[in-house]
Amino acid sequence: MLRGTKKDVVAQIQKLSGEMKSLATFIGKNPELAFQELKAQAKLTHFLKKHGFKIKRGVGGIQTSFLATMSRGQGPKIGFLAEYDALPGIGHACGHNLIGVASCAAAIALAKGMMNFSGTISVVGCPAEEGGGGKVILAKKGIFHKFDCAMMAHPDCKTEVIKKMLALIEIDIEFFGRASHAAAEPEKGVSALNAAVNSYQEILKMSKMLSLDSRVHGIFTDGGSKPNIIPPHAALKYYVRALDMDYARATIGKIKKIALKEAKKIGAKVKFALNPLAYEPFHPNAALANIFKRQLKFLNVKNEQGSETERIGSSDVGNVGQVVPTIHPSIKICDHAFCHTLDFAKAALAPGGFKGMIQAASALALTGYDIFSNPAQLKKMKMEFRQRKNNRMFKKPFSGGRMFKKTQMLGARGGATEAYLSGTSKESR
């Protein structure tokens, strides 16, 4: 016989609301960038410890991560995901101060409101969502494997339960030419910039022929130093996104081909560097999402579900979704501001932000309640997960190191060049 009702769980969130607000305010006013989130880690782990959770800091080899656990025998293993990193210059403009607190409070309220649950409630402190792919690293280290399911909620300007996200691969392309005096001896130079400009234009043309759910966006990161020097070096950086990782990989292949061809035309060399921390596409688990939806209804929170693929970006939660059934619903905290803006940072510290955080924590805790009350629901989630795994797009998890092994990168002058960046910045959403 279960002790504790859904109302008891919600009452626990209400009890915690004062503490939640002050924690979210502290983290919001003390923004810390990716992998530097020591204050947020200290605050959130203190909050969980105070309420009876066992804490391990620095899991998966990341100093600012944590794993908080409360275990009571056999049963479902539920993982709540906490994010708490900020953006450079604009602070908590993605509202991660609310996410971290909501996930921790959900775990605490679930444990307190449902006194005799059987199973394990965990919170994973996931650093560096905005720069470095913390969950990509944690997933590789096996941190999520032990869960039956994982969940978090993200602040937004609309409440929507199902939103897909795009795979994201980052590639740097460097061109090497030969410097010469641009006025006196231009004929002796090889302009790396020309190769980069021509490549950029050809890649732009190619990108217009891709499937509608693909995105290719590039910038120049080096275009020479002085007009009177024929640039010996130029560089481009691209983000390649798609709903299908294989498609994103194939697009990277096309980009490479173009750059090689353009470099060869003028006698330049080219070098590619892939960020191995690629974001997998995110496909929310529908069975788990349905449980979450029911809780929104219970809480009288309006679900404004629109298209699953409209206004989408990328997130390292995609890599968690490759390991266990996962959801990442959006909870409205303001009317118009979109994340990564100063207005959104303000909303994440305003009453609307706190209201959304309470709703998110309540719905997450109640989703856990539903699963503990009826663990048979896990079967449906897992079946859906396995079926998706068998789909083409989930067959081969991305591995930066493997991607180019078969294709040797040959510069026009014959030098094989290939390198992989480690831990370069990664965009979120």
| Nearer Cβ to Zn ion (94/365) | 94
Q: Which of 23, 48, 94, 107 binds Zn ion (CB under 5 A)?
A: 94
Radius of gyration of the chain (CA): 24
- The least distance separating Zn ion from the CB of residue 105, rounded to whole angstroms, comes to 18
Please give the residues from 332 up to 351 whose contact with Zn ion meets the rule CB under 5 A: none
Residue nearest to Zn ion (CB): 94
Collapsed DSSP state (helix, strand, coil) of residue 194: helix
Q: How far is the CB of 52 from Zn ion (least distance, A)?
A: 28
**Assigned token pair, 16:** 């915690």
Would you count residue 357 as binding Zn ion (CB under 5 A)? no
User: Does residue 195 bind Zn ion (CB under 5 A)?
Assistant: no
Q: Is residue 137 close enough to count as binding Zn ion by CB under 5 A?
A: no
One-character DSSP codes across 128-147: -TTTT-HHHHHHHTTSSTT-
**Residue 315 C-beta: closest distance to Zn ion, Å:** 7
- Output the smallest distance, CB 94 to Zn ion, in A: 3
Q: Does 412 bind Zn ion (CB under 5 A)?
A: no
Identify whether the C-beta of residue 61 lies closer than 8 Å to the C-beta of residue 354.
no
CB of residue 330 to Zn ion, shortest distance in Å = 10
Q: Considering CB under 5 A, how many residues would be counted as binding Zn ion?
A: 1
Pick the closer one to Zn ion by CB: 167 or 287.
Answer: 167
Backbone angles phi, psi at 235, to 5 degrees: -150, 150
For residues 255 and 262, what is the distance between their CA atoms, to the nearest angstrom? 11
Choice between 236 and 348, CB closer to Zn ion:
348
Q: By CB under 5 A, is residue 196 in contact with Zn ion?
A: no
Closest distance between Zn ion and the C-beta of residue 135, in Å? 12
Closest to Zn ion by CB, 31 vs 189, is 31
Does residue 324 belong to the site contacting Zn ion (CB under 5 A)? no
DSSP labels, 362-419:
HHHHHHHHHHHH-TTHHHHHHHHHHHHHHSHHHHS---HHHHTTTS--B-TTS-B--E
Cα–Cα distance, 120 to 79 (Å, whole number): 8
Q: 3-state DSSP call for residue 176? A: strand
Please report, as ranges, the residues that interact with Zn ion according to CB under 5 A.
Answer: 94
